């Protein structure tokens, strides 16, 4: 097996720990393997890769896209460290509004699988952090939605007091007013 796949408290969210091969030359590991994803019931087709660079204290998110343009994501941190968050925005779900978070870093090499129907965001914990994620759907501006990163009802315990956010992210509504997954 290439990955140890473990469920989180919110059903559908998974942490993937890759099998890392280390020797005198350095390191090698696989970050995606279609057959293992398929066997684990995960998507084995991704159509868009995204890469971001953020400074310490930047909060990006919480973003998602409505059907039929939903996106499952496989997130990893290439350099630095992030606090990565997923929030269930599936109306009628038993875990609607619940969130889970992981620290992803270049050091721990963990990956976070986030299925469709979850808002995603992260906070850069290190001086800089580079994040790469694969998505099962292409970006569609008309389908893009979001939830305010500091929604008091969600109560996400962000590890930053005065975050740097984009204007767009700061204008997202709280979950109770957001257009969510049907």
Cis preceding linkage at 6, omega within 30? no
Neighbours of 131 (CB within 10 A): 21
Instruction: Considering the candidates 64, 113, 133, 181, report the single residue annotated as catalytic.
Output: 133
| Superfamily (CATH) of domain 45-177 | Jelly Rolls (2.60.120.10)
Whether the pLDDT of residue 182 is over 90: the answer is no
- 147: nearest Cα among 72, 55, 66, 39: 66
Whether the pLDDT of residue 129 is over 90: the answer is yes
Whether the pLDDT of residue 134 is over 90: the answer is yes
Annotated active-site residue 51? The verdict is no
- What percent of the chain stands above pLDDT 90? 97
CA distance 70 to 74: 14
The predicted pLDDT at position 33 comes to 92
CA distance 94 to 13: 14
Answer yes or no: are the C-beta atoms of 147 and 173 closer than 8 Å: yes
Annotated active-site residue 24? The verdict is no
Cis preceding linkage at 34, omega within 30? no
92-120, pLDDT tens digit by residue? Answer: 999 999 999 999 999 999 999 999 999 99
Q: In the block, which residue shows the tokens 């293992």? A: 36
Q: What's the average model confidence in pLDDT over 32-43?
A: 93
């Amino acid at each position: 097996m290439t990955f140890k796949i473990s469920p989180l408290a919110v059903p559908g969210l998974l942490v993937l720990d890759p099998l890392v091969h280390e020797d005198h030359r350095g390191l090698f590991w696989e970050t995606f393997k279609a057959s293992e994803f398929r066997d684990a019931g995960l998507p084995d087709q991704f159509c868009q890769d995204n890469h971001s660079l953020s400074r310490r204290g930047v909060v990006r998110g919480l973003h998602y896209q409505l059907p039929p343009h939903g996106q499952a994501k496989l997130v990893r941190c290439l350099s630095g460290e992030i606090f990565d968050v997923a929030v269930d925005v599936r109306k009628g779900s038993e875990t609607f509004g619940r969130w889970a978070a992981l620290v992803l870093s270049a050091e721990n090499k963990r990956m976070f699988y986030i299925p469709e129907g979850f808002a995603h965001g992260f906070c850069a914990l290190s001086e800089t952090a580079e994040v790469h994620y694969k998505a099962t759907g292409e970006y569609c501006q008309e389908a893009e939605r979001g939830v305010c990163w500091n929604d008091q009802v969600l109560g996400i315990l962000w590890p930053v007091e005065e975050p740097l956010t984009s204007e767009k992210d700061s204008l997202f509504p709280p979950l109770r007013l957001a257009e969510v997954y049907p």
